[in-house]
Amino acid sequence: MLNVGVIGASGYGGGELLRLLSRHPQAQIACAVSETYAGKPISTAFPGLLTLPELRFTSGGGGAELAECDVVFLAQENGKAMHAVAPLLSAGSKVIDLSADFRFRDPDVYAHWYGAAHAAPEWNARAVYGLPELHRDAIREAQLIGNPGCYPTATILGLAPIVQHKLVSVESLLVDAKSGVSGAGRAKFSLDYHYPEMNESVSAYKTSGTHRHTPEIEQALSALAGLNSTFPLTFTPHLIPMTRGILATCYGTLAEAASAEELLGVYREFYADAPFVRIVEDHLPATKHTLGTNYCQIGLSVDSRNNRVTVVSCIDNLVKGAAGQAIQNMNLMCGIEETVGLGLGGIWP
């Protein structure tokens, strides 16, 4: 049985980690750190977790319980993890960071997009980007994982097969993505997230290549395309008035004419060994189809008039886009079957 700790446990990502870990047959929550709720029951922050009455939040880094954890999840805001990992890793814990601190191969890219020099470049060089569908073998050997962002997870999974097989011109790629409000995190209190401002409205934000997830997507897709440098991606995110879910609609010009059936065959082969990717053929996926699950559903269509493909990729931003993917990484790192604790289907209706 793995002893597991969660730092930053009172945020949405931390709460989803606690919910999923409480059902995991081979892991037990030894420590949940939150300065805001220190000393209080887990259910104070997450009333839905009344099933864990014995578990209370701790503070001050978690103390002895955290030091004895086999795996530690860092669910804090950007800029925290790079200061926290060294003692955890030196103590022998495996660490999975849900922030952006260890997602980039080049620490200068992180510094540019997140406004601070990387404090642990030596560990950054050893971190593995935790997208299991692309890096499963490396994750199994890793001690430190940079868990992917939610928009990048949906987008990269949606485009990986046709980019790697050079079936699409990378310069032509456009991504229009929409996210539920929980993607902003629990501490987001700006006016845009107030109910009267957000309700019955859809808005674009961080346009023209300014969203922080853009370089993460570019890094992964450029590597898949076999390029020595990254290419600029047109990525436009939108805020939509629902709690959770991401729908990424990706457009690209085909390198050669191909039918939807031919491309679906490429996707089925590419993800043949990916238990959490489902290629759908009789419909296009919707956020409701993946609600509460660790699955990514992908569908596509081809417009033969202009030789362009439209790929629709859908995930739950808090599960496959955050906590569920982190647990998937834990399973791989610890020699546990990849799907353990994550096999539940979606919530419907």
Catalytic residues: 150
Backbone angles phi, psi at 189, to 5 degrees: -125, 20
What is the 3-state composition of the chain as percent helix, strand, coil, each rounded to the nearest 5? 35, 20, 45
Nearest alpha carbon to residue 153 among 248, 229, 11? 248
CA atoms of 181 and 197, how far apart (whole Å): 12
Long-range contacts of 258-265 (CB under 8 A, 24+ apart): 258/167, 258/302, 258/309, 259/302, 260/300, 260/301, 260/302, 260/309, 263/162, 263/167, 263/300, 263/302, 263/309, 264/300
Give dist(CA 264, CA 312) in Å, integer: 12
**Cα dist. 287→25, 277, 294, 315 in Å?**
28, 14, 12, 7
Count Cα neighbours of 258 within 13 Å in the Cβ-side half-sphere.
22
Token reading at 312? 């629709």
Of the candidates 335, 337, 344, the residue with the CA atom closest to the CA atom of residue 141:
335
